[in-house]
Amino acid sequence: MTLPKTPSMNLTGKRALVTGASSGIGQGCAVALAEAGAHVVCSARGMGRLQSTVDEMAGQGFSAEALSLDISDLDAIIAALTEQAPFDIIVNAAGYAKHTPATETEPSDFDAVMNINLRGAYFLSAWAAKAMQDAGIEGSIIHISSQMGHVGGIDRAVYCASKFGLEGMVKAMAIEWGKSRIRINTICPTFIRTPLTEPTFADPARVAWIEEKIKLGRTGVVEDIMGAVLYLASPASSLVTGSSMLIDGGWTAD
């Protein structure tokens, strides 16, 4: 009898691009991939905190470099994908939120959210998949979505629209690229304490709403996401595509 062998999560020799890597969830994703052996190109719009992140990663012996990249700038996306060596892994953690009642939403705010959360995510995925196909890479594309891609939320009509759209986009792309063995999935966190969510956590009414919804009785931290991104980036998830990994403490269970 031959016992089955546990798939490896070692990413040695793999190249990864992580957007939104200067802080929060994106930074955690970059560290998780680098710690597993990947060379990680860490990208964000500003170079200050991004370079500090890369310097600290290098100080811990990780292989990483910084790349200034605005995901809403399509020319910048295509340049990043054509000027760099091919990527085996794409993690899109760039995101934007502008929370208001739907009746008070400004068209400019709607466009800003969609340009980053959906339009940028769409073309990053499409162009990255094409580069993988051209290079013969059986890659993994991972988007940091949200539990709000599955449920509604207070003052979050625009944000929910962008994330519901992202979830549908990923399912359709998974169908297209399955024969190329290119996988695409989402990670859907609940409220994670990051610089992006600090305004929400500063509102006692919102905190009470969050704590009532999360069945496990606590909000999330970046470390809650790191294992999930490593799983989806590695051969351990080789039969997973077009899926959403909900890391929501049970928020969407009812």
Q: Is 24 exposed, middle or buried (0-12, 13-18, 19+ CB in 10 A)?
A: buried
pLDDT of the residue at 216? 95
pLDDT of the residue at 164? 98
When pLDDT is cut at 50, 70 and 90, the band that residue 185 belongs to is: very high
Q: Cα angle vertex 118, ends 155, 42, to 5°?
A: 110
Secondary structure element (H or E) that encloses residue 114, with its range: helix 107-114
Residue 206 in this model has a pLDDT that exceeds 90: no
Average pLDDT (81-107) is: 95
Residue 222 in this model has a pLDDT that exceeds 90: yes
Residue 1 in this model has a pLDDT that exceeds 90: no
Contacts of the segment 63-70: beta carbons below 8 A, 24+ positions apart: 63/34, 63/38, 63/39, 64/30, 64/34, 64/39, 64/40, 65/39, 65/40, 65/41, 66/41, 66/42, 67/17, 67/41, 67/42, 67/43, 68/43, 68/44, 69/19, 69/43, 69/44, 69/45, 70/45
Average model confidence (pLDDT) across the chain: 96
The tally of CA atoms less than 13 A away on the side-chain side of residue 200 is 23
Strand partners, 64: 40
pLDDT of the residue at 88? 98
pLDDT of the residue at 189? 97
pLDDT of the residue at 254? 84
The tokens describing 99, both together, are 């929370």
Q: Which of 89, 92, 77 is nearest to 139 (CA)?
A: 89
List phi, psi (to 5°) of 46: -105, 150
Secondary structure element (H or E) that encloses residue 79, with its range: helix 74-83
pLDDT digits 0-9 by tens, 121-169: 999 999 999 999 999 999 999 999 999 999 998 899 999 999 999 999 9
pLDDT digits 0-9 by tens, 43-88: 999 999 999 999 999 999 999 999 999 999 999 999 999 999 999 9
Strand partners, 67: 43
| DSSP, residue by residue, 183-227 | EEEEEEE--B-SGGGHHHHT-HHHHHHHHHH-TTSS-B-THHHHH
pLDDT of the residue at 201? 87
Distance, CA of 138 to CA of 130 (rounded, Å): 11
pLDDT of the residue at 200? 82
pLDDT of the residue at 9? 97
Place of tokens 């359709």: 172
Evaluate whether 127 touches 78 at the Cβ level (below 8 Å).
Answer: yes
pTM of the full predicted structure?
A: 0.96
Residues forming the active site: 159
Contacts of the segment 209-214: beta carbons below 8 A, 24+ positions apart: 209/154, 213/251, 214/190, 214/248, 214/249, 214/250, 214/251
Q: Is 85 exposed, middle or buried (0-12, 13-18, 19+ CB in 10 A)?
A: exposed
Going by their DSSP bridges, the two strands 15-19 and 89-92 should be labelled as parallel
For the beta carbon of residue 10, count every other beta carbon within 10 angstroms: 14
